[in-house]
Structure 1
Amino acid sequence: MNEPAHKSALQLSDEAHLLHPYTNLSLHESVGAHVITGGDGIHVIDEAGNRYIEGLGGLFCAGLGFSEERLVQAAIRQMRAMPFYHSFAHKSAAPTIELAGKLLSIAPVPMSKVFFANSGSEANDTAVKLIWYYHNAIGKPQKKKIISRLRAYHGVTVASASLTGLPLNHRDFDLPIQGILHTDCPHYYRNGLPGESEEEYATRCADNLEALILREGPETVAAFFAEPVMVSGGVIVPPKTYFEKIQAVLRNYDILFVADEVICGFGRTGNMFGSQTFGIEPDMISVAKQLSAAYMPISALMINDRIHRVLVEQSAKLGSFSHGFTYGGHPVAAAVALEALKIYEETDIVGHVRRVSPRFAEGIARLAVHPLIGETRICGLVAGIEFVRDKTSRENFPPEAGVAAFAGQRARAHGVITRALGDTLSLCPAMIIDEAQIDDLIARIGRALDDALVYARERGHFNS
């Protein structure tokens, strides 16, 4: 690939002014930014003209790729008609109202109301506030603790980052805040005991959750957060019967369930929602990312009628429901999201994912036999490829070896943008990908794995 040898003017400007999220800031001072200037379907193009398959769909969000003209035109039309209005104090905008109704019509379980925000983090942060507000309103002010899971990812605001179960999201940020608890990550490959079946492991996870609730006191535990698939934590697909058993525990202790569908929602798992894929019946659902196919920032929190009626009664008592964001339900973002949902329906995106995901699964299975790979995990069109030093013992490489990270770097050299999250290389391409493009993606990743094998052997990290 014709990668630039020197930093461009854009890169130099970037280094002077932009603080990069999820970046080694010290390293960035020497390597600079990779500037992306264009997109075409599942591909993006950098300022040097290099073309890449965007293997993560941006950040697990560009479900319709990077050149969907209908979404561009939807934004233009709404900008001309009404570029901004808010939803405070009995106000609203037509696209915002229509989008709320559309979301309720396709929700995986009956929901009553939709609250709009701008990111998945804000939607989950709102869920936390509503959980606390709800329990105060029903006379249970002590029922405030919230349980998430190790390796979960729910965002980066103070509350949602506390729910996130990844150490780097807590370290030196003084997180998690009080009242946020974490239970098992349901990763059977890593945490299952010798001879323990998936179902037995799921039972143990549910038993451990119940034990945590009993230790804390059921009267103090308010809610449980879970992603159907823990994508940012390494594409952890739940073991068989996991959610069935977890939900039984939650119901037994009157604990609300928040399904974080920020990544899984809108077709990614082979159903419109991951909750449908895994039989989840939540009280609240957070969505974002593919809601607008990433063309505009927008998120939403759907709540059931039980919670909504309490909010109505409490706002009457207090005089206002005093929570909201200036740009929540922004009419341009809502118009783009409505158009994205129309495209999903008209093109049968769920059916397309189901048709091409077997080819994706076949390709991922071929990668699983590579000497560096211990386990591959897949659900619909999202997959995780976990690197190990030894397939038999499942020993990971030492963190300083950086083998998975090196594979991610080599993927870019072979024309795929992706990245390693710990020991796992993730793939989450735009859902419009076809079978030929899947084959191309898998072949390029295979070459990156081969490069990583040479790298690991040369540095003495791998001797097989």
Structure 2
Amino acid sequence: MTVSLSADARLSNAGARDFALPEDEAKAAWEADRQHLLHPWTNFASFKERGSFLVSGARGVHVYDTTGRQYLDGMAGLWCVNLGYGREDIVEAIADQARRMPYFTPFVDVGSLPAADLAKEIARIAPGDLNHVFFTCGGSTANDSAVRLIHFYHALRGKKDKRRLLVQMDSYHGSTYLTHSMSGRHTARSPLLNFETEMVQTLRSPNTYRRPEGMDEAGFLDLLISEMEERILSLGADTIAAFFAEPLMGAGGVIVPPRGYHARVQGLCRKYDILYVSDEVVTGFGRLGHFFASAEHFGLEPDIIISAKGITSGYQPLGAVIYSDRMQAVLNAAPEEAWFTNGFTYSGHPVVCAAALATIRAMEAEDICGHVRENGPKFETALKSLLDIDIVGDVRGSHFMMCVEAVADQKTKELFAPKADVGHRIADHAHELGLIARSIGNLIVLSPPLIFTEDHIAETAATLREAITRTRADLKADGFLA
């Protein structure tokens, strides 16, 4: 399938009447944002000059800026708008619950019908004996709460010294103080901030593309497992509470571990009484073609799954700690004085839970997971065609979770100098061409809505090819490429 990159094909006027603002209003909104709003992950030096790209509306798989210009959303918002924009069924579920009861406290022994119904639904679709749920406000608070639950669990077992957490380089688990400390993306760690370094222990990244030179994938797997076991023994298994891992790492660059990695790591965790936590904030709810990727995609039986993002298709903020019957049995045996003192005002918020219930209903009714299993491999194939461009070193991922890594030399895998800013250059050109893609250093990450069609896939690949080609010309002109 060939997709034209003409202006008409890229930048449709559809939605302009709905989302375009008068020029003076658009300028005032841009200035208000620049002067008063602190964004996540802000670089103040560039922000004070460039300000923000303001999105004023969205429909289907497209977003629109304040001029009414259309962009194909290659990021599903931020890994989350899985069912696309403008879903009236989800919107109506939110509105109906807000009219019925917008909120009541979830603390101690008070509950709401939507929260109870959602917990039951999650237990139904979760793998194995993961039949218990604690609700939070997002992925960061879910991972943070999981740590507290894990420490509480071990303490009830008489193993209070089991507090350390094993994480991986290049991982991402959130933005609370603790979960950012657990995130192994050291390049994202500002030297102006503090992080927990004793309780959190970081292991080598399972990045198969960046394995030691001359080592095959099987040898790399053996190295990872050997190093992990050595670390466990050196720290003392009786001090280690849990291992946290994303099935595929998201923000770290869609890192694909060697085949068999998760099963062997889980074997070590069971051997040394370490809980295995599968952080499925990104991979859960359909991105890899299943509600949860751990069991179906990787043959993994985690003790805990962390979920957020796609659980409501991004329509409301929700996180979930989904844990096992085995853990619940220990919690049920807790003495009367042992309270689990962790919670949030908006845990199990009824309106948010209504959005999640509507999302699950829609996913099952429309067989979204089946659609991803059918079309995800086509997305992989389309993006891997970019490997014929000499500055594309790797295209990796699975289904609708992909990454393109730019390199200065395909054979040596040498990176461009940081000043080349290659990822931003590619993303900026893609933006100019009508595609929203995420740059992370030398990487371009794509995680589109799960309703992407073959036409959307072809358009994405063609647009990204043009963006990389333009970037290559820029790099050559600026002396970063021979």
2 CA distance for matches of 1:23 and 1:69? 33
Letter in 1 for 2:345: T
* Residues 122 and 131 in structure 2, CA contact (< 8 A), matched pair in contact too: no
- The normalised TM-score by structure 2 is 0.93
Distance 2:87 2:121 in 1: 21
Size of the alignment, in residue pairs? 461
Residue aligning to 2:249: 230
Indicate if the aligned counterparts of 1:74 and 1:339 stay in contact, CA closer than 8 A.
Answer: yes
Consecutive unaligned residues in structure 1, runs of 5 or more: none
| Unaligned 5+ runs, structure 2 | 1-10, 14-19
Could you tell me which residue of structure 2 aligns to residue 29 of structure 1?
48
Q: Does 1:454 align with 2:434?
A: no
In the alignment, does 2:174 pair up with 1:160? no
Aligned partner of 1:306 in structure 2 is 326
Q: Answer yes or no: is the 8 Å Cα contact 2:422–2:441 preserved in 1.
A: no
Q: Residue in 2 aligned with 1:364?
A: 383
Give a deviation string over 1:297-347, Cα, whole Å, max 9, x none: 0110011122222223336232x3221111011000000000000111011
The equivalent residue for 1:284 is 304
Q: Does 1:80 align with 2:108?
A: no
8 Å Cα contact 1:166-1:233 kept in structure 2? yes
Relative to the length of structure 1, the TM-score reads: 0.96
Q: Could you tell me which amino acid in structure 1 is paired with residue 248 of structure 2? A: V
Query: Residue by residue, what CA displacement relative to the aligned partner does 1:109-157 show, whole Å, maximum 9, x if unpaired?
Result: 2113100001100000001111111121111121111000000000010
1:379 Cα shift?
0.5
Tell me how far apart the structure 2 counterparts of residues 421 and 457 of structure 1 sit (CA, whole Å): 21
**Cα 1:220–1:412, aligned 2, differ >3 Å: closer, same or farther?**
same
The Cα of 1:168 is off from its aligned counterpart by 4.1
Is 2:206 the partner of 1:186?
A: yes
Moved runs in structure 1, 4+ residues, more than 2 A?
A: 1-7, 168-172, 309-318
**Is the contact made by 1:270 and 1:351 (CA closer than 8 Å) also made in structure 2?**
yes
Query: Do 1:57 and 1:430's aligned partners in 2 also have CA atoms closer than 8 Å?
Result: yes
Contact 1:414/1:448, CA 8 A, preserved across alignment: yes
The sequence identity of aligned pairs, in percent, is 35
Q: Any conservation in 1 of the 2:377–2:398 contact (CA below 8 Å)?
A: no
2: CA distance, partners of 1:112 / 1:346: 23
CA–CA distance in 2 between the matches of 1:170 and 1:86?
36
Name the structure 2 match of 1:259: 278
Q: Deviations over 1:257-291 (max 9, x none)?
A: 01000000011112221202111111111100000
- Please, which of 165, 190, 205 is the counterpart of residue 146 of structure 1? 165
Q: C-alpha distance in 1, partners of 2:413/2:335?
A: 54
Q: What amino acid maps onto 1:307 in structure 2?
A: M
Q: Aligned equivalents of 2:380 and 2:423: distance in 1?
A: 20
Cα shift at 1:17: 1.5
Are residue 421 (structure 1) and residue 431 (structure 2) matched?
no
Determine the structure 1 residue equivalent to 2:342.
323
C-alpha separation in 1, matches of 2:410 and 2:277: 36
Which of 356, 374, 377 is equivalent to 1:337?
Answer: 356
- The aligned amino acid for 1:24 is N
Deviation at 1:200, TM superposition (A): 2.1
Question: Which residue of the partner structure matches residue 6 of structure 2?
Answer: none
Aligned equivalents of 2:283, 2:409: Cα separation in 1:
31
Distance 1:315 1:47 in 2: 58
Question: Which secondary structure state, in structure 2, belongs to the residue aligned with residue 433 of structure 1?
Answer: coil
- Letter paired with 1:76: A
Q: Distance in 2 between matches of 1:441 and 1:333?
A: 32
Does 2:260 match 1:241? yes
Letter in 1 for 2:320: A
Residue in 1 that maps onto 2:395: 376
Pairwise mapping of residues 43-192 of structure 1 onto structure 2 (< 5 A)? 43-171=62-190, 172-192=192-212
Distance 1:18 1:215 in 2: 46
The residue type paired with residue 431 of structure 2 is R
- Residue of structure 1 equivalent to 2:290: 271
CA distance in 2 between counterparts of 1:264 and 1:123 reads 15
Q: Does 1:398 align with 2:417?
A: yes
Contact 1:82/1:331, CA 8 A, preserved across alignment: yes
Answer whether contact 2:248 2:397 (CA < 8 A) is retained. Answer: no
Specify the SS of the correspondent of 2:336.
helix
Name the CA distance, whole Å, in 1 between partners of 2:353 and 2:290. 22
The answer to whether the 8 A contact 1:87-1:329 is kept is: yes
Return the letter of the residue paired with 2:195. L
Alignment of 1:207 with 2:207, yes or no, is no
The superposition leaves residues 6-59 of structure 1 with CA deviations (integer Å, 9 ceiling, x where unpaired) of 971101111221101112122111111111111111100111111001111111
The root-mean-square deviation of aligned C-alpha atoms, in Å, is 1.6
Measured in 2, the distance between the counterparts of 1:221 and 1:32 equals 44
